[in-house]
Structure 1
Amino acid sequence: MRIPMADYVAGATFASDLVNTSPTVRADTGDALPDPAALTGLLAGHDLRLDALADGGAPTDDDLHAVRLLRREVRGVVETETVEQAVAGSGVLVARAGLAPVLDRAAGGGWQWYVPTEPGASLADELAAFVAVGLFGAVRTLGHERFRACAGPDCRGVFVDTSRAGRRRYCLPDLCGNRVNVANHRARRLRAGVAR
């Protein structure tokens, strides 16, 4: 796998989505990675083509177990209190399979920095390097203050806010944001009904 260093958003977004598949975050629905097919769906949803699956193979139960462990590590990095801790944690992740950066021609003919992964690296180790490059880029470009906890009540999700404006508040805006909006709407209706 060759991870483009300029596209940190892809790695940081995957990190957020991976962490938020946890049953810790999804208490009412359970683990969003219950089986290798769900992992395949997550990878496909991010258009990830990993060398570990280059022969057309699918993730195995062992891959799923390793990715679930990686999910915990990534959460630990996103939850760090200081930028130094985030950088150190990302360094541990990239070291699992990342090699020295290389400068190579991109598809358009320009030059691009890439972090290649070790030949034969496991699926989880390739993902660790991909996530680390994304987290490094987010720290450098956006700052550690973009590593956030979800503002949803009773939600334990975390995420990296890669939005342009930097105002994202929820780990899963369609879920947590909607819950807050519905609760606020009900509270306004109740107050309006009481005021009559």
Structure 2
Amino acid sequence: MSCAYASKSCETLANGPTLQFVDEPGNVVETQNTKPLSCQRIFECNVLTSPPEATVYWYKNNKIFHATVTRDLTLSSPYHDNTGVVLGVSELRHRICIDSLIDGNDSQPFDIKCRIQSSCDPRQVIESNSIVIKPQMLRTKKSFANHFYRAPLISLISSSRMEIAGKFVQLYCNAIGNPKPEISWQIIDNEDENLVYDIENYPFIWVSIIKWKFAD
């Protein structure tokens, strides 16, 4: 496996590059959303990495079906000091919808896993355990709508960044889906994560949103 992306910040990291799973890797999350086209099963890999850049590979039966490059927009920003030392530690929660992997004509179980490759050292790779998915558990009523549309394929659902005080930080989120997914940003309270605030109330914060639409 070759490194799809090489970070330019490896030499400036205060504690050097790191890459590890935060939780037991390879969790399947069942959602309570019953709306049409919503995703019912989500495969999740939670990673702690420095720098906050890596290549994420998703496997079905040991074959790559999707890959995502996680980049730190901070490092390419004109506000970033390329000469200074950075902490560059982020916790990234990667998720992908399993529903879209189901072939309606195939009822055979399949396994899924994630593999994360460091952007500093292509030899540094961590891999989750394989999870067996039974298609019959994911079957939903067929309709004209879900024949053409699918739940968003979310490659990064959340991230948290730890950095030296005074350093510029920029986060991003991307999602793939058809119809085009909507993305919103909120500020989480420092003491109570159940409290959120509208990001528009913080003029010193701006966001970068990347949205992709599947080909019709």
- TM-score, normalised to structure 1, is 0.25
Which has the higher relative contact order, 1 or 2, with Cα contacts under 8 A spaced 6 or more apart? Answer: 1
Q: Which structure shows the bigger proportion of residues in strand conformation?
A: 2
